[in-house]
Homo-oligomer: A and B are copies of this chain.
Amino acid sequence: MSFPTVGVVGGGQLARMMAPVAINLGIKLHVLAEAADVSATTAATYTVGDYTDYATLEAFAAEVDVVTFDHEHVPTEHLQRLEAAGVALAPGPGALVYAQDKLVMRRKMAELGLPQPDWRAVSSVDELLAAAEDIGYPVVLKTPRGGYDGKGVWILDSPDEAREATVWFNGDHEALLVEAKVDFRSELSAQIARSTTGQTATYPIVETIQTDGVADLVKAPAPDITDTTVAAARQAAETIANGVGVTGMLAVELFHTPNTEAGYMINELAMRPHNTGHWTQDGAITSQFEQHLRAVLGLPLGATDPIVPFTVMKNYLGADNHDLYGAFPLAMTKYPQAKVHAYGKSVRPGRKIGHVNVLATDGDLDAALAAAIDAAEIIRHGRTDY
């Protein structure tokens, strides 16, 4: 056995961030990129190709030892065909569908007996109105497939708003998902890795603050939850990982609902490294990116312990500053402890272009939060006033 090549479908920042750990481990990374100028192409070898084209996927798979994913948008039928052809997929289509299709996911969570918002599959505005009446307003309407970072999600406060949803029943989906809008105290994320061998390793439960549907800030571990909720959330991640047979990293997004018995409800699943796990790059013994590579290669999983009492991750999204590097000096002068990550992407408003991790080595979470937020804002807005 020599050092293997991991193929990643999709050239976004998640693929990019697998590259440093691949280099460290001596493993080769090869990316199927949407274009030559996407995030991962300056970090790994790549082929440009269309992941919705079966022949492209097949040719790519022939070049690598195992195929994994930067995103969940590869058509299920292509994945099934690749699997039937003997391609090692991690995760496989049987697992990935639960991250691709929110209706299939809701059914599975019910089958696994895990707490989740009241939900219905609806195929028309009439069904939506009836379901929403039953669930109680406000409700959340979601497209089962294709949504991410808040896209494909609508909050409906009244029957009047629900009646306006006609446009969403446009034939792209057999049915839409409608579910209760949960009155949560905060959002949590439970990450777990599951190897091809079945071994699992769970990360600390983190708190994630979303802004406009995008994970924006992470506190690791989550500071304000009980040990009971931590244990329940970790158990849920384990139940799901084994229940769906995932390979690689699984992120279970949770609503923290301390007034319910379990203390949480399942929101969504992602089967890949996840924005809520970027803190592990600097704050955990084994980063989620290393863990993902280990899991898809069937290597033993690494320790998931945090290295310091708290780590904070703050995203920076595209804004008015296009010269990110020009803002590094001020951010780094003010915060020599900040770990600045940049994705090699051009700046567009609202686009995820980087993040900052700050380790609270002394346990001072508030100071770490303030540092991470300010450093990210400096880069985002290009302040150089020092």
Q: Which residue on chain B has the smallest CB distance to residue A298?
A: B329
Query: Please, which residues of chain B bring their CB within 8 A of the CB of A329?
Result: 299-300
Is the CB of A307 closer than 8 A to any CB of chain B? Answer: yes
Assess whether A23 is in contact with B28, with CB atoms less than 8 Å apart.
no
**Nearest-Cβ distance from residue A33 to partner chain B, whole angstroms:** 15
The 9 closest A-B pairs by CB, nearest first: A26-B342, A20-B20, A300-B332, A303-B337, A300-B333, A303-B336, A1-B326, A23-B43, A3-B325
A101 nearest CB across to chain B (Å): 33
| A276-308 interface bits toward B, Cβ cutoff 8 Å, 1 = contact, 0 = none | 000001000110000000100001111101011
Known: A299-B328, A336-B302, A336-B303. A24 touches B28 (CB 8 A): no
A344 at the B interface (CB under 8 A): yes
In the bound complex, residues from chain B placing their C-beta under 8 Å from that of A359 are 285, 307
State whether the Cβ of A4 lies closer than 8 Å to any Cβ in chain B.
yes
A340–B324 alpha-carbon span in the complex (Å) = 32
Nearest CB of chain B from residue A213's CB, rounded to whole Å: 25
- Residues in chain B near residue A308, CB distance under 8 A: 307
Query: Does A361 interact with chain B (Cβ within 8 Å)?
Result: yes
Cα–Cα, bound, A47→B371 (Å): 40
Task: Known pairs A24-B342, A26-B341, A307-B308; list 17 more (Cβ under 8 Å).
Answer: A2-B323, A3-B324, A4-B325, A16-B23, A17-B23, A23-B43, A24-B339, A24-B341, A201-B336, A299-B328, A299-B329, A300-B333, A300-B336, A305-B337, A307-B307, A307-B359, A307-B361
